[in-house]
Amino acid sequence: MNWFKTHKKGMKRAVVGILILAAAAFVAATAVLLRRRKTIEAEIAERQYAQTENGSLFRSDTIQYQGKTYRRSSYVKAILCLGVDRDGPMTEETTPGFGGQADGIFLVAQDTARNSLKILMIPRDTMTEITMTDLSGNVLGKDVHHLTLAYTYGNGRETSCEYMREAVSDLLGGLEIDFYMAANTEVIAILNDTVGGVTVTIPTEGMEKSDPEFIKGTDVTLTGEQAEKFVRYRDTGKDHSALYRMDQEEEYILGFFQAVKERSRTDSNIVPVLFEKIEDYMVTDMGKEQYLKLAMDALETGGLGEKNFYTVPGSGVTTARYDEFYADEEELLPLILEMFYQETER
């Protein structure tokens, strides 16, 4: 008798058993995914509610905090500075989706009375409400996404900057942002070589993958090409690599302004020259006198140091596809007060 005929009933039972187990496993996995999705949706809803509750906190000139009254300092300007992941001149508009992303996001508090700066570093992966458009630029509405994407939904110039200004303002409780300045990655090499190179200490493990000289703890004077590698490097195979890259950005900014300061001792015209060289690679609503003053304040006695840098407090979350960062509004509030407000009498 044929073996298959003899064992036919047993094989059917085995197949049925396997199908039942597979179905059970599928149902169990689906249940887990649904529970996880509901949990995530609940967390997002809670964050959105918190944003709605606190979204207009700094839209008023005065606020109450821990029994004290604070007023926005009229002489402290909020300037949004953006590093855009895009090549070539920024003189022409682009189709939404093709103008690059804001990889470096910094909010500068310029104290025009004391000629000093404070810099708030904002993680690119911060999750917040941004304006979304179609390819024609028609606004579709707002949704919670990575802050870096707010730039790409614009026209690669002024509209992109305005979307970023709005998103950052909303993230910071409605804080009014006075000006913006965006520049793309090509300016790094141009500025770096114009000042004769920038010396940095390699802060991140594994950067030798980008350049053999980039060994952690080593001092390196960067050439133009190296400077761009240094600022942009991140190990995308590691969680929250964009957060760690902010250490490189701070290190480079400090090194760059130190190099400018040293160069200015022999070339008093170096700051205007730097801006002339990158004019086609930047977009700003500041007048020439204003951004020259901003640069000169960074070179004032004492200059920039680690004490001048702040980072948006919060926590990172790793999802199946992307890294996400969520700002801690309770910790962020006193930081904004310190940077842009002053205590006053009731």
- Strands 309-311 and 116-121, by their bridges, are parallel
Beta strands in 206-280 (DSSP E): 219-222
- Nearest Cα residue to 309 out of 94, 27, 156, 81: 81
The side-by-side arrangement of strands in the sheet containing 282-284 is: 282-284, 179-184, 76-84, 102-111, 116-121, 309-311
Structure confidence by residue, pLDDT tens digits, 200-245: 999 998 999 999 999 999 999 999 899 999 999 988 778 777 888 8
> How far is residue 117's CA from residue 225's CA, in Å, rounded to a whole number?
28
Cβ atoms of 80 and 180 within 8 Å: the answer is: yes
pLDDT for res 250: 93
> What totals of helices (H) and strands (E) does the chain contain, helices first?
9, 15
CA–CA gap between residue 80 and residue 151 (Å, rounded)? 12
25 vs 80, residue with greater confidence: 80
Whole-angstrom Cα distance, residue 292 to residue 272?
7
Dig out the tokens for 275 from the structure: 């801006």
pLDDT in tens, 270-324: 999 999 999 999 999 999 999 999 999 998 756 788 899 999 999 988 877 788 9
Start-to-end Cα distance in the chain: 101
Secondary structure letter of residue 1 according to DSSP: -
Between the CA of residue 34 and those of 38, 40, 255, 262, 321, what are the distances in Å? 6, 10, 49, 59, 17
| CATH number belonging to the domain at 185-277, selected among 3.40.50.970, 3.40.630.190, 3.40.50.10800, 3.40.50.150 | 3.40.630.190
Amino acid identity of 161? C
Task: Decide: 281 and 89 in contact? Cβ < 8 Å.
Answer: yes
pLDDT at 40: 46
The position carrying tokens 């190179």 is 197
Of 118, 172, 123, which Cα lies nearest the Cα of 336? Answer: 172
Nearest to 292 by CA among 115, 89, 132, 73: 115
Distance CA 312, CA 144 (A): 18
Share of the chain above pLDDT 70, in %: 83
Per-residue pLDDT tens over the stretch 237-248:
787 778 888 999
pLDDT digits 0-9 by tens, 49-86: 444 455 677 887 788 898 899 999 999 999 999 999 99
The pairing of strands 323-327 and 341-344 is unpaired
Which has the closest alpha carbon to 338: 48, 58, 1, 17? 58
Domain ranges for the chain: 3-52, 185-277
Judge whether residue 42 has pLDDT over 60: no
| Residue 266 pLDDT | 93
What pLDDT sits at residue 52? 46
pLDDT tens for 129-180 read 999 999 999 999 999 999 999 999 999 999 999 999 999 999 999 999 999 9
Among candidate residues 45, 241, 246, 235, the one with its CA nearest the CA of residue 127: 45
Show Cβ contacts of residue 98 under 8 Å, excluding neighbours closer than 6 positions.
152, 156
Secondary structure of residue 297 in the 3-state scheme: helix
